[in-house]
């Protein structure tokens, strides 16, 4: 048992002397620095009751400040066009430090030449944080999943 303790101490001294560190130690902040904020995995899923072309807005980045967001929200809310359906989900995984504030996915029917489709698509969205579904919404022409009241 004593040999193990000496070996562990010798290994630690060798690592320190040579500048080697374990990956866990290498990621630690320097003493006195605040630890980085925790990161959360946010998974957005969008489907529709029938195949439809959709426009999807989402947040995959935390704005540095609310004023940065409010001055140009579209910088922090990119959008994609996708065909979704019951067997064709759109899924995006993002990492946010404050998903309660910034997590959001919005889906609506993609307009063609400015006209909104007459038939309802039956959109559905789900937002999960670290694997736990925290919000679901459905609507005939759109759906919004967000924990913040926008």
Task: Judge whether 79 and 43 are in contact, CB under 8 Å.
Answer: no
pLDDT, tens digit, 9 for 90 and up, residues 111-132:
654 444 556 889 999 999 999 9
Domain-located, residue 33? no
Q: How do 132-139 and 90-96 pair as beta strands? A: unpaired
pLDDT at 74: 87
Look up the CATH number of the domain holding residue 66: 2.60.40
Residue 5 belongs to some domain of the structure: no
pLDDT at residue 105, rounded to an integer = 97
Q: Which stretches of the chain drop beneath a pLDDT of 50?
A: 1-26, 113-116
* Domain containing residue 76: 40-146
How many structural domains comprise the chain? 1
- Residue 29, pLDDT score: 61
The reply to whether 26 falls in a domain is: no
Q: What is the pLDDT of residue 38?
A: 85
Measured in residues, the chain has a length of 150
């Amino acid at each position: 048992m004593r040999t193990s303790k000496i070996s562990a101490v010798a290994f630690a001294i060798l690592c320190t002397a040579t500048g080697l560190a374990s990956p866990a130690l290498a990621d630690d902040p320097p003493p006195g620095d605040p630890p980085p904020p925790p990161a959360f995995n946010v998974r957005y899923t969008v489907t529709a009751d029938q195949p439809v072309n959709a426009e999807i807005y989402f947040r995959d980045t935390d704005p540095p400040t609310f004023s940065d967001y409010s001055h140009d929200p579209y910088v922090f809310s990119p959008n994609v066009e996708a065909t979704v359906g019951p067997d064709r989900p759109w899924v995006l995984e993002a990492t946010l430090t404050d998903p309660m504030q910034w997590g959001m996915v919005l889906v609506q029917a993609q307009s063609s030449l400015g006209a909104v489709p007459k038939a309802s698509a039956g959109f559905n969205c789900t937002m999960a944080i670290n694997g736990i579904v925290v919000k679901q919404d459905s609507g005939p022409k759109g759906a919004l999943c967000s924990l913040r009241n926008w």
